[in-house]
């Protein structure tokens, strides 16, 4: 490849990657993206001699001033300094790309692309940034090397010396040369940039995360359509399935694998129902949690579930240890709710540096203000207590739990009558709840097509007229029917199940997995999950095993790893990582020590045989050495082969040049005869050849060759070549 | 006066770091940017800034490793021209061989080291493929005659990213002899009365037997006086009178006043001392030019100075001998006597102008002040 083309291509690749890293975050305006992409592509051809760039300088300067004025005014008016700054940066890159002339312009372009990468680190934390960054590392290695070579060429290389003066040589000719960079150069530097990337990754993992986070701006999320912090029945239309991943969960067996059962990921819970809407009220009991703080930014919260306050952390920990542990990576949801597998016992998390005022939560919700994604560990008791225990639970309601029996006056008599009819003859709350759950599943159907109930009470409309609905209808109907027969019930929103990712062994929960269900209180046993919605699927392997589905899961793994190891990498994770590394080394050391001990044991067991082998091998070596000495007559070893062969190579080079100039050496001619022949012909190099011949004889048959002799031979060969070239 | 550059002492050489590293302008900016990104990363806790910080640091580390590999395996040789004259530019050929088997070396700068410091000129090699040798030259001028000891080479590179300039010194001592400058001088015509002229005309080609002298390169083998050779153990040849007719002795007065020499030794060189030194240099230069002019005209030339003597000789080999001797001719006090020379041969004394010096030879043909 021509040098100039290689330099330009790698530089554009570098700028392109940096731009990609910034614009894929979504914070840069579409107009700026269009200008950036089109401008960058267009500038490829905008260069001398096709265009006289200096003619356009004034126009570009005026345009840049206009864009600056626009950027400042827009930023002040909208307050979006970051986004507008990104737009302006794109303009600067395009302007510079159109005005590049010398090495200095290229360097400014590199600086601007680095700034785009810095801006991208704030505007885009997606995997696309990682991909663009990898491309940037590769391209920047090429671009910076070639830029350096170009600069050196322009600055100090192209001087042609003569005895009396020095003159500059045409730069353009060298820039068009194909001999400076070739495929090997690109491959070698490509491998090197891979090394740079690995080293950068290692440094990234190693640099201690002691950041104060004063100006921390974490990932900003969007609120997903699937999950809602409230429930309002009565809407109409079609609920769309949203594939966006909202959280990823690493969980213990038996809840992992494609055949694992669905888990309810509990988020928010409601106590009051009124006019088709569920709310959290002040009458509802507050979430009771015992908090164990480990350092200023790390804590474990234990759900108390109406336990006595004097319970010790040791007891809570003992209870926790028997539960199912899972790690949750929650995407930015625009909500402060923490999702946990039902029913949670404890959650351990890093508290952000600026938590703000803690909000009192109710209905056993856990909330924590976080600006972006968050990671935490949960211990949950997923399996409900045995039915016998629940049946035997006494009908005692703790203080404040009346809220879970609330029924609004608009609930129709036929609804209440239906509840009584379903539970007729049943003697305990568990059987009543199960009967209601079963009736709803058996008699009503699931649909995502929403119908407008008009003025009719939504639950009544669902139970008697529409007879079909989505999970919120089923959950609301269950709660109303259960409360109607005195069973303390609350409505819960969260996610159900998810998709098992076999590449990295986690459950990916999507926005479309949003779900609504119920919890029923049993004295002495706590809250138990009831889900009246007819199940369409209940296994994690729902995504299928086709190539498309597998690819989708594979890319999600990459994204997960990106967030897990890069975006959300913190001090805790760093400490854990190095502990893992330390443990690995310890294991390897133990393995090596074990192998050593085993070897020593074997050696000791067969000491005599081993000694015999060593003696035999030693004797063979001594015999061989003696034989060699006898054969060589005790002479000193011959000089190093390399020296002789270097001289031979030099002589061979001279021979080849002579042969090309019509004086080949046939096999019967000795080197001295050839030298005489050259002298007889009057060749200008005859004297040099004669001297070289003697040096060659001395090297081949006269023993060791000294450095100066080799140097002299090199000079002679150069003289011969020069003389032959001049003669031709 | 000979100005041989001193080689750095052993201790200084041992104390010298194996590599020198200096920031380039781009390198300084890069480090500032890296520090800025580092501060930003710590302040914000933004992991992507940590990633950028890792990249900048690894770029710096990779730059160090690659520049090291780039500098290794290079063998540098220099080839000075056959003759170098003070004050006249010459081309020094520098050849660099890349002895590495597979990797090319890029962007290599070579500087000759004189007295531990690089000369003002450098040679640049854009690419040296593996196993190949590339040559280029630099043009340089030595202001004064003498023996210059070049300590070695400084091999430097800004490869790969021009963030730093890394250099290493290769110790390959070499000597360069700088001859006194040759200037245009009128060659004094031979003196009119010369007994030998008539004799030689009478006696024919070989002239009359004059004496014996030691054999020199180029002498006819028929002139070897075998008896004397056998007796003395040295190869002696006959000398004939007619050889005296085209012979000249160039006598160069290389003395300086005692106070000038003392000032030079004390390194206390004032304007007067400089003037004396310049006068001596001019005298040596004129002496060399005169000898060259005689030799070019086919004359035999002998050079005589205080404590120095170049025996009679002819042709280019004699010119080399004369120039070498005059290049190395030291300044001495005027109590040092001139070497002896045959008073019958034409002689020219070249003396520094304006200096009154003792111990001049009593009988010289002509005196030139330079």
The residue extents of the domains of chain A are 3-160+169-206, 390-499+514-536, 641-727
Residue B5 lies in a domain: no
Residue B310 within a domain: yes
* Residues A567, B91: C-beta atoms closer than 8 Å: no
**What's the pLDDT tens digit per position in B114-170?**
877 888 778 888 889 998 898 888 888 898 899 988 888 999 999 889 899 999 988
Q: Is A147 or A633 the better-scoring residue by pLDDT?
A: A147
Q: The tokens of A532 are what?
A: 């009246």
Of A579-583, A623-627, A667-671, B61-65, the poorest mean pLDDT is in A667-671
Higher pLDDT, A65 or A542: A65
The answer to whether B133 faces chain A, any CB pair under 8 Å, is: yes
Taking CB atoms and an 8 Å cutoff, what residues of chain A touch B46?
121-122, 216-217
Q: Cβ–Cβ of B51/A209 closer than 8 Å?
A: no
The answer to whether B47 contacts A568, with C-beta atoms less than 8 Å apart, is yes
- What's phi and psi for B308, nearest 5 deg? -135, 150
Output the pLDDT for position A222: 44
Model confidence pLDDT, tens digit, residues B30-63: 999 999 999 998 888 888 999 999 999 999 999 9
What is the C-alpha separation between A335 and A367, in angstroms, rounded?
9
Q: Give the strand pairing for A449-450 and B90-98.
A: unpaired
pLDDT(A461) > 60: yes
Interface test with B, best of A119, A135, A200 (most B CBs within 10 A): A200
- Put simply, whether B95 touches A (Cβ < 8 Å) is yes
B161 closest CB neighbour out of A145, A199, A210: A145
Is residue A385 scored above 80 in pLDDT?
A: yes
Same domain, B162 and B263: no
How many angstroms separate the CA atoms of B297 and A304, rounded? 120
What's the confidence (pLDDT) of residue B195? 40
Strands (E), A116-271: 159-161, 166-168, 231-232, 237-238, 245-251, 264-270
* Domain final residue pick, B163, B179, B195: B179
- Residue among B52, B59, B89 minimizing CB distance to A196: B59
DSSP secondary structure letter of residue A178: S
For residue A655, give every residue at least 6 positions away whose Cβ sits within 8 Å of its Cβ, in sequence order, or none: A665, A674
What is the residue range of B104's domain? 10-179
Task: Name residues whose C-beta falls within 8 Å of residue A516's C-beta, 6 or more positions apart in sequence.
Answer: A231, A471, A472, A474, A475, A476, A491, A492, A493, A533
Maximum distance among all Cα pairs of chain B, rounded to whole angstroms? 110
Judged by CB atoms closer than 8 Å, whether chains meet at B54 and A121 is answered as no
Structure tokens at A525: 């046993």
B51 in contact with chain A, both atoms CB, cutoff 8 A: yes
Nearest CB neighbour to A125, from listed B33, B37, B48: B48
Give the residue among A415, A468, A419 at the shortest CA–CA distance from A444.
A468
How many Cβ pairs within 8 Å bridge chains A and B?
A: 144
DSSP A354-393: ---SPPP-BTT--B---SS-EEEEEEE--SPPPHHHHHT-
Task: Give the best residue of A147, A201, A204 to mutate against chain B (max B CB count within 10 A).
Answer: A204
Nearest to B47 among A163, A185, A569 (CB): A569
Instruction: For residues B174 and B251, state if they share a domain.
Output: no
**Alpha-carbon gap: A492 to the closest alpha carbon of chain B (Å):** 35
pLDDT digits (tens, 9 = 90+) for B94-122: 999 999 888 889 999 999 888 778 887 78
Q: Could you tell me if B149 and B272 lie in one domain?
A: no
**pLDDT value of residue B362:** 73
Please answer whether residues A203 and A172 qualify as being in contact, where contact means their C-beta atoms are separated by less than 8 angstroms. Answer: no
Q: Do B127 and A212 touch (CB under 8 A)?
A: no
Select the more confidently predicted residue: A541 or A549.
Answer: A549
Cross-chain Cβ contact A117/B160 below 8 Å: no
* Residue A252: DSSP 8-state: -
- In DSSP notation, A211-237 reads ---TT---------SS--SSEE----E
Q: Closest residue of A to B62, CA-based?
A: A196
Predicted confidence (pLDDT) at residue A661 exceeds the cutoff of 60? yes
C-alpha to C-alpha distance for A265 and A36, rounded to whole angstroms: 43
Last residue within a domain, chosen from B146, B179, B212 = B179
Q: If we measure between CA atoms, which residue out of A191, A186, A156 comes closest to residue A6? A: A186
Coil, helix or strand for B288? Answer: helix
Q: What is the per-residue pLDDT across B261-308, written as a single tens digit (0 to 9) for each?
A: 888 888 888 888 888 889 999 999 999 999 999 888 888 899 999 988
Partner-chain residue, chosen from B44, B89, B158, that has the shortest CB–CB distance to A217: B44
pLDDT band at B241 (very low <50, low <70, confident <90, very high): low
pLDDT for the residue numbered B191: 53
- The pLDDT value recorded for residue B296 is 86
Residue A16 has pLDDT above 90, yes or no: yes
Residues B259 and B115 in one domain: no
pLDDT value of residue B3: 43
Q: What does the pLDDT read at residue A332?
A: 78
Contact A160, A167 (CB under 8 A): yes
Confidence (pLDDT) at A316: 85
Helices and strands counted in chain A (H then E): 21, 22
With contacts defined as CB-CB under 8 Å, which chain A residues touch B122? 156
N- to C-terminal Cα separation, chain B: 15
- Residue A609 or residue B18, greater confidence: A609
Q: Does A567 contact B47 at a Cβ distance shorter than 8 Å?
A: yes
Q: Which DSSP symbol is given to A539?
A: B
Q: How far is CA A259 from CA A243, A255, A504, B81, B341, in A?
A: 21, 9, 16, 86, 116
Rounded Cα distance, B248 and B199, in Å: 18
Q: State residue A552's pLDDT score.
A: 86
CA distance A412 to B42: 61
**Paired tokens of A127:** 């995997």
Which of A158, A180, A196, A219 to probe the B interface (max B CBs under 10 A)?
A: A196
- End-to-end CA distance of chain A: give it in Å, rounded: 32
Q: Is the pLDDT of residue A221 over 50?
A: no
What are the tokens at A241? 């399935």
Give the rounded percent of residues in chain A with a pLDDT score beyond 90.
Answer: 37
Whether B139 sits inside 8 A of A166 (CB atoms) is yes
Residue A442 makes CB contacts below 8 A (sequence gap 6+) with: none
pLDDT tens figures, A146-197: 998 888 887 765 555 554 555 556 667 777 778 778 888 888 888 888 888 8
Select from A590, A589, A610 the least CA-distant residue to A600.
A610
Residue of A10, A161, A214 best to disrupt the B interface, most CBs of B under 10 A = A161
- CB contacts, 8 Å: B77 with chain A: 711, 714-715
Is residue B326 a part of any domain in this protein?
yes
Q: How confident is the model at residue A355, as a pLDDT?
A: 56
For residues A420-428, give the mean pLDDT.
92
CA distance B106 to chain A (A): 8
Q: What's the Cα-to-Cα distance from B119 to each of A166, B3, B140, B176, rounded to whole Å?
A: 17, 15, 9, 14
DSSP string, A672-704: HHHHHHHHHHT-TTHHHHHHHHHHHHHHHHSS-
- What is d(CA B348, CA B291) in angstroms, rounded to the nearest whole number? 10
Q: For the structural domain made of A390-499+514-536, what CATH number should be given?
A: 3.10.620.30
Chain B CB contacts of A714 below 8 Å: 77, 95, 133
Residue A20: closest CA among A44, A45, A39, A37: A37
> Which of B30, B31, B54 to mutate: most A Cβ within 10 Å?
B54
Here the ipTM equals 0.72
So what's the pLDDT on residue B206?
58
Over residues A203-221, the mean pLDDT reads: 62
Considering the domain architecture, whether residues B260 and B171 belong to the same structural domain is answered as no
Interface test with B, best of A108, A115, A148, A155 (most B CBs within 10 A): A148
Q: What's the mean pLDDT when you consider all of chain A?
A: 85
Asked whether the beta carbons of residue A121 and residue B46 sit closer than 8 angstroms, the reply is yes
For residue range A568-621, list pLDDT tens digits in order.
787 777 888 888 899 999 999 999 999 999 999 988 888 889 999 999 999 999
Residue B43 Cα, gap to closest chain A Cα (Å): 5
SS3 label, residue A706? coil
Sign of CA dihedral A12, A18, A20, A22: negative
Q: Is B54 on the interface with A (CB under 8 A)?
A: yes
Q: Residues of A with CB below 8 A from B42's CB?
A: 210-212
pLDDT tens for B311-320 read 888 888 889 9
Q: How far apart are CA B45 and CA A217, in angstroms?
A: 8
Overall domain count for chain B = 2
Query: Of B310, B303, B315, which Cα lies nearest the Cα of B349?
Result: B303
Neighbours of B60 (CB within 10 A): 16
Q: Between helices B271-296 and B258-265, what is the axis angle to 10°?
A: 110
Q: Are B113 and B153 in contact (CB under 8 A)?
A: yes
Q: What is the structure's pLDDT at B2?
A: 40
| pLDDT band (50, 70, 90) for residue B1 | very low
pLDDT score for B204: 40
Cβ proximity of B224 and B276 under 8 Å: no
Shared-domain flag, residues B21 and B105: yes
Contact between B54 and A203 using a beta-carbon 8 Å cutoff: yes
DSSP strand pairing (B164-179 vs B146-157): antiparallel
Distance from CA of B62 to the nearest CA of A (A): 7
Which residue is associated with the tokens 């020199």?
A: B216
Residue that finishes a domain, picked among B151, B179, B207: B179
B55·A568 Cβ contact <8 A:
no
A126 pLDDT tier (thresholds 50, 70, 90)? confident
Chain A closest-CA separation from residue B133 CA (Å): 10
Contact B106 A211 (CB under 8 A): no
The whole-angstrom separation of Cα A127 and Cα A86 is 19
Max mean pLDDT among A108-112, A259-263, A287-291, A335-339 falls in: A108-112
Q: Is the pLDDT of residue B240 over 90?
A: no
For residue B138, which residues of chain A lie inside 8 Å, CB to CB? 161
Q: Can you give the pLDDT at residue A159?
A: 52
Which B-chain residues 327-356 have CB contacts (< 8 A) with chain A? none
Query: Among A277-286, A349-358, B45-54, where is mean pLDDT lowest?
Result: A349-358
For residues A372-408, one letter each, b for 16 or more C-beta atoms within 10 angstroms of the residue's C-beta and e for the rest, the string is bbbbbebbbbbebeeeeebeebeeeeeeebebbbbbe
Share of chain B above pLDDT 90, in %: 27
Distance from CA of B81 to the nearest CA of A (A): 11
Partner-chain contact A188 B103, CB within 8 Å? yes
Token pair of A701 as six digits: 């048959």
- Residues in chain A with CB shorter than 8 Å from the CB of B162 are 144, 147-148, 151-152
- Give every CB contact of residue A114 below 8 A, 6+ residues apart in sequence: A18, B33
Q: List, in sequence order, every residue forming a beta bridge with A495; answer none if it has no partner.
A: A265, A514
């Amino acid at each position: 490849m021509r040098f100039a083309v290689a330099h330009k291509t790698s530089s554009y690749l570098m700028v392109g990657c940096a731009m990609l890293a910034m614009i894929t975050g979504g914070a840069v305006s579409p107009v700026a993206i269009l200008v950036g992409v089109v401008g960058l592509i267009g500038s490829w051809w905008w260069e001398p001699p096709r265009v006289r760039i200096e003619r356009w300088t004034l126009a570009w300067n005026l345009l840049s001033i206009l864009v600056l004025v626009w950027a400042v005014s827009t930023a002040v008016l909208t307050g979006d300094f970051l986004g507008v700054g990104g737009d302006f940066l794109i303009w600067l890159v395009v302007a510079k790309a159109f005005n590049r002339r010398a090495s200095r312009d290229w360097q400014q372009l590199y600086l601007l692309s680095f700034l785009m990468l810095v801006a991208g680190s704030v505007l885009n934390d997606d995997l696309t940034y990682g991909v663009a960054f990898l491309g940037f590392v590769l391209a920047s290695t090429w671009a910076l090397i070639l830029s350096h070579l170009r600069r050196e060429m322009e600055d100090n290389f192209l001087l042609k010396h003569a005895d009396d003066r020095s003159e500059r040589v045409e730069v353009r000719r060298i820039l068009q040369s194909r001999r400076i960079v070739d495929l090997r150069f690109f491959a070698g530097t490509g491998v090197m940039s891979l090394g740079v990337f690995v080293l950068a990754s290692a440094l990234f993992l190693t640099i201690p995360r002691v950041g104060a986070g004063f100006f921390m701006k974490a990932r900003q999320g969007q609120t997903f359509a699937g999950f809602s912090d409230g429930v309002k029945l009565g809407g109409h239309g079609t609920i769309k399935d949203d594939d966006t991943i909202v959280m990823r969960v690493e969980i213990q067996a038996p809840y992992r694998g494609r055949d694992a059962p669905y888990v309810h990921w509990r988020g928010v819970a409601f106590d009051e129902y009124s006019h088709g809407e569920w709310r959290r009220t002040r009458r509802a009991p507050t979430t009771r949690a015992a908090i164990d703080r480990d350092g200023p930014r790390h804590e474990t919260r234990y759900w108390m579930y109406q336990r006595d306050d004097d319970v010790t952390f040791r007891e809570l920990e003992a209870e926790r240890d028997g539960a199912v542990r899972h790690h949750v990576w929650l995407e930015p949801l625009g909500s402060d709710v923490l999702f946990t597998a039902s029913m949670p016992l404890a959650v351990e998390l890093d508290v952000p540096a600026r938590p703000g005022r803690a909000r009192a939560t109710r209905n056993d919700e856990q909330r924590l203000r976080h600006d972006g994604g968050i990671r935490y560990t949960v211990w949950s008791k997923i399996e409900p207590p045995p039915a016998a225990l629940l049946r035997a639970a006494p009908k005692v309601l703790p203080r404040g739990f009346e809220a879970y029996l609330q029924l609004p006056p608009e609930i129709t008599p036929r609804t209440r009558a239906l509840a009584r009819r379903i539970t007729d003859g049943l003697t305990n709350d568990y059987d009543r709840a199960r009967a209601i759950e079963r009736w709803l599943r058996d008699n009503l159907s699931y649909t995502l097509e929403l119908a407008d109930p008009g003025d009719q009470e939504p639950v009544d409309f669902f139970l008697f007229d529409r007879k079909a609905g989505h999970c919120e209808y089923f959950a609301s109907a269950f709660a109303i029917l259960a409360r109607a027969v005195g069973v303390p019930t609350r409505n819960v929103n969260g996610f159900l199940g998810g998709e098992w990712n076999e590449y990295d062994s986690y459950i990916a929960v999507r926005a479309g997995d949003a779900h609504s269900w119920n919890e029923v209180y049993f004295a002495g046993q706590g809250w138990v999950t009831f889900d009246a919605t007819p199940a369409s699927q209940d296994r994690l392997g729902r995504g299928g095993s086709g190539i498309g589905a597998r690819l989708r899961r594979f890319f999600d793994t990459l994204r997960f790893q990106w967030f897990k190891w890069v975006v959300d990498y913190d001090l805790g994770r760093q400490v854990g990582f190095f502990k893992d590394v330390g443990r690995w080394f310890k294991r390897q050391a133990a393995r090596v020590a074990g192998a050593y001990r085993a070897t020593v044991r074997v050696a000791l067991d067969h000491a005599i045989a081993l000694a015999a082998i060593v003696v035999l091998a030693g004797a063979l070596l001594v015999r061989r050495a003696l034989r060699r000495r006898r054969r060589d007559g005790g002479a000193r070893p011959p000089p190093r082969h390399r020296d002789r062969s270097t001289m031979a190579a030099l002589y061979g080079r001279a021979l080849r040049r002579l042969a090309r100039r019509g004086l080949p050496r046939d096999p019967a001619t000795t080197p001295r005869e050839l030298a005489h022949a050259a002298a007889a012909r009057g060749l200008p190099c005859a004297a040099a050849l004669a001297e070289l011949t003697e040096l060659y004889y001395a090297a081949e048959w006269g023993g060791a060759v000294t450095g100066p002799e080799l140097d002299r031979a090199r000079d002679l060969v150069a003289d011969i070549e020069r003389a032959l070239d001049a003669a031709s | 006066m000979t100005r041989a550059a001193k080689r750095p002492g052993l201790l200084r050489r041992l104390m010298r770091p194996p590599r020198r590293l200096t920031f380039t302008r781009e390198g300084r900016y890069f480090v500032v940017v890296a520090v800025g990104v580092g501060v930003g990363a710590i302040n914000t806790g933004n992991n992507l800034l940590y990633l950028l910080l890792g990249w900048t640091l690894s770029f710096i580390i990779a730059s160090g490793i690659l520049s090291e590999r780039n500098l290794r395996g290079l063998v540098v040789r220099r080839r000075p021209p056959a003759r170098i004259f003070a004050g006249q530019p010459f081309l020094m050929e520098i050849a660099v061989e890349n002895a590495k088997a597979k990797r090319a070396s890029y962007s290599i700068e070579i500087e000759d080291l004189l007295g531990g410091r690089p000369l003002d000129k450098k040679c640049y090699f854009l690419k040296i493929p593996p196993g190949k040798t590339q040559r280029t030259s630099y043009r340089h001028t030595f202001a004064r005659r003498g023996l210059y000891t070049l300590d070695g080479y400084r091999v430097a590179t800004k490869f790969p990213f021009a963030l730093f300039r890394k250099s290493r010194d290769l110790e390959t001592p070499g000597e360069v002899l700088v001859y006194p400058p040759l200037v245009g001088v009128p060659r004094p015509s031979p003196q009119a009365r010369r007994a030998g002229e008539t004799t030689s005309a009478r006696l024919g080609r070989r002239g009359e037997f004059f004496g014996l002298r030691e054999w020199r390169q180029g002498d006819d083998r028929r002139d070897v006086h075998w008896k004397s050779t056998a007796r003395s153990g040295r190869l002696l040849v006959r000398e004939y009178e007619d050889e005296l007719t085209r012979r000249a002795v160039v006598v160069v007065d290389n003395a300086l006043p005692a106070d000038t020499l003392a000032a030079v030794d004390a390194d206390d060189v004032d304007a007067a001392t400089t003037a004396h030194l310049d006068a001596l240099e001019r005298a040596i230069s004129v002496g060399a030019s005169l000898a060259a002019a005689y030799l070019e005209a086919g004359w035999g030339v002998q050079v005589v100075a205080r404590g120095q003597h170049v025996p009679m000789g002819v042709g280019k080999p004699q010119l080399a001998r004369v120039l070498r001797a005059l290049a190395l001719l030291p300044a001495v006090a005027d109590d040092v006597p001139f070497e002896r020379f045959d008073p019958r041969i034409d002689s020219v004394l070249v003396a520094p102008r304006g200096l009154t010096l003792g111990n001049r030879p009593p009988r010289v043909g002509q005196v030139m002040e330079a």
